[in-house]
Each structure stands twice: as C-alpha cells, then as structure tokens.
C-alpha cells in the first residue's frame, strides 16, 4: 500500500453554484450498559443559559449534552454517511474483534458499527452518559475522559475510531499517540475531522455575519486551548505517532443547497440541517459567555444573524472535511 495519498474525493476543483433556486422558498435503561457507575457526580449535569452540560470533568467540553444537541449529533451522523456514500469508516479493517469509538456522543456510530460487525466487541466512550440503553448486545458505553491516561495498552484494539472531536480536544498529537499505543500491531486508527475554517469559492463569505460568527467563536475556542482545525494536521500527527500506510482523504463539505452537483447539494442540505438544529447557539454559548464575557442575548443575536446568512443562497460557504487512517506496523 502506498505511504499516503491525498485526494479531494467528492468534487471537481470548482464547485458550481446551482442557480435554479433563485425563486424557490423551499431552500431552505438499562444502566448496566455503563461500566462506570452513574453516580450523581456524573449525572448531576451543569445547567447554564438554558442548556445542559456534562458533569464528569465539568467544563472540559464546551457544547451541551441535552436532547436538542443529541438530535443535532444524530443529524450529523446522517451527514457523514451521505458524505462517505453510506460508509461508516474507510480504513481497510478485516474481522475486527475489539473496537472503540472515542467521544461517541449519542453512540450512533458505535451502534451502527456493532450491527454491521456482530463478531466485534464495541466500546463507545464519552464524558456524557447520554447513549440509548436499547443497543446491540455487542456494544457497551463507558464514561471516561479520553484526554486522561488510558488503561488499554495491555488489552489493545483492532480498530480505534474518532469522529468530530474538533473543538473538543486540546492535544490531538497526544491523543493519537495514545491510540498508537492502544491498537494492536497491524490494527488501524481512523479520525474523521473538520477544517473548522469555512471558505467560499467566490469570496461571497467575506464580510458576512457567518464569517464574523466563525471569527468570534473559533477565536474563543482557540484562546481556551481547543483545536478548531484538526483535519489538515491529522496526517502529520499520524506520522509523528509512528503509523504507516497513512491515507488522507479530503472531502468538500458545502453548507446549504447552493451547489449544482446533486451529491454536494445533498451533503450541503444535511450540513445546513444540523447547524439549524440549534447548532450555531450550541457551539457559541459556552465559549463566548464563559471566556469572552458575552451575554446570552448577544450570543443569540450573533447566532441568528449567522443562521440567516446561511439561508442566503448568494453566500456559498463550504468546509474541508478529512478522513485519515493509518496502521500500526505489524512488528
């Protein structure tokens, strides 16, 4: 296998705008599944600005864990499946027996993976115990902090998966080294992450409230020490950790239905749908109120303006999204 390949996977270099929308208004419990005991220290959630946040390692993750947010994460899952043509992962894994999903969120990826691989034991790990309880028998969920030291080196995995830990993690390099030490020789690690900075092929994003939103919110995350753009750096972190057979696949991820290409249009529709599920507020509230001393009302105004710009068919915003996987050498 080649050492690395980088491709833009789903689109021509120039993304064409679909102008046919000019006049179209449609644009628009079982507790035993947890190995950690669900003590009040885990379940006594923080409530702030009308949203609910995790309690275990209070304050270390800045997005809510309430039903609204969990619905958004499930929509994001559909966005990823659409983007990757219904594939849950791209690494060439074979007959995995032991698998972990880092920062599993609602556990939807882990549940789908367990359904597809009944032979595998699948662990979903998160700060928040928000996963469903009616799950396949080969999945279990753990409450744990993946930025702390791991205890898996003596019982390593065949496959370690992480998706959308952008704005969650401070030190991706350290995390990817932990993955290396906790995957079997010959096993695979895959990360699916954003380049959080949006762009527009025609400059239509410049000077908009959407641009202001990302400048303000990503600025606050970065000042607080979080990585907002891990996607383009994953390859280097995988190399530094010692992985081989590293593959980098870059996907264009538009926002909204402005692209003419039907696949990109569908992806863009899902992206807008997840952001409109209160995503702008959910992402901005804690960093701007906790670290930049904005009021809740100020954040809501910025988020509303960003959402309105997102509905403007003349603003052609898109992101890069990276899927990177690598193998621990056999020897």
User: Which residue's CB is nearer to ligand SAM, number 145 or number 222?
Assistant: 145
61, 157, 180, 237: residue in contact with ligand SAM (rule CB under 6 A) = 61
98, 117, 163, 313: residue in contact with ligand SAM (rule CB under 6 A) = 163
Is there binding between residue 45 and ligand SAM (CB under 6 A)? no
76, 238, 255, 294: residue in contact with ligand SAM (rule CB under 6 A) = 76
Is there binding between residue 168 and ligand SAM (CB under 6 A)? yes
Is there binding between residue 60 and ligand SAM (CB under 6 A)? yes
**In the complex, least distance from residue 81 CB atom to ligand SAM, rounded to whole angstroms:** 11
**In the complex, least distance from residue 271 CB atom to ligand SAM, rounded to whole angstroms:** 14
**In the complex, least distance from residue 187 CB atom to ligand SAM, rounded to whole angstroms:** 20
51, 77, 98, 250: residue in contact with ligand SAM (rule CB under 6 A) = 77
Buried b / exposed e over 44-60, threshold 16 CB at 10 Å, is ebeeebebbbbbbeeee
Is there binding between residue 79 and ligand SAM (CB under 6 A)? no
With contacts defined by CB under 6 A, name the span among 164-172, 232-240, 261-269, 306-314 that binds ligand SAM. 164-172
Enumerate residues 89-148 that contact ligand SAM by CB under 6 A: 103-105, 109, 125-128, 145-147
User: Which residue's CB is nearer to ligand SAM, number 164 or number 188?
Assistant: 164
Is there binding between residue 283 and ligand SAM (CB under 6 A)? no
Is there binding between residue 164 and ligand SAM (CB under 6 A)? yes
**Backbone region of residue 236 per phi and psi (left: phi > 0; alpha: psi in -120 to 50; beta: other values):** alpha
Is there binding between residue 51 and ligand SAM (CB under 6 A)? no
Contacting residues toward ligand SAM, per CB under 6 A: 54, 60-61, 73, 76-77, 103-105, 109, 125-128, 145-147, 163-165, 168
């Amino acid at each position: 296998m080649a050492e690395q390949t980088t491709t833009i996977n789903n689109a021509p270099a120039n993304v064409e705008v679909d102008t046919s929308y000019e006049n179209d208004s449609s644009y628009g419990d079982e507790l035993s599944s947890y190995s950690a005991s669900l003590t009040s220290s885990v379940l006594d959630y923080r409530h702030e600005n009308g949203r609910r946040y995790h309690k275990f390692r209070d304050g270390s993750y800045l997005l809510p864990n309430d039903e609204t947010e969990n619905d958004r994460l499930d929509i994001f899952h559909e966005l990823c499946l659409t983007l990757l043509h219904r594939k849950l992962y791209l690494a060439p894994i074979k007959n995995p027996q032991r698998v972990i999903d880092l920062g599993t969120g609602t556990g939807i990826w882990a549940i789908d993976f367990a359904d597809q691989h009944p032979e595998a034991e699948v662990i979903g790990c998160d700060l928040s115990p928000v996963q469903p309880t009616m799950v396949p028998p080969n999945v279990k969920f753990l409450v744990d902090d993946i930025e702390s030291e791991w205890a898996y080196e003596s019982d390593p995995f065949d496959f370690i998966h992480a998706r959308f830990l952008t704005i969650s993690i401070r030190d991706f390099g350290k995390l990817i080294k932990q993955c290396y030490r906790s995957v079997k020789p010959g096993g695979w690690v895959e990360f699916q992450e954003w380049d959080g900075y949006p762009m527009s092929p025609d400059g239509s994003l410049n000077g908009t409230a959407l641009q202001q939103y990302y400048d303000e919110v990503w600025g606050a995350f970065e000042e607080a020490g979080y990585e907002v753009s891990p996607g383009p750096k994953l390859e280097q972190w995988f190399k530094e950790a010692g992985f081989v057979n590293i593959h980098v696949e870059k996907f264009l991820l538009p926002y909204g239905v402005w692209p003419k290409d039907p696949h990109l249009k569908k992806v863009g529709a899902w992206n807008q749908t997840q952001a409109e599920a209160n995503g702008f507020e959910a992402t901005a509230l804690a960093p701007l109120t906790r670290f930049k001393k904005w009021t809740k009302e100020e954040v809501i105004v910025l988020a509303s303006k960003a959402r309105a710009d997102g509905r403007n068919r003349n603003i052609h915003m898109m992101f890069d999204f990276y899927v990177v996987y690598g193998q621990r050498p056999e020897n």
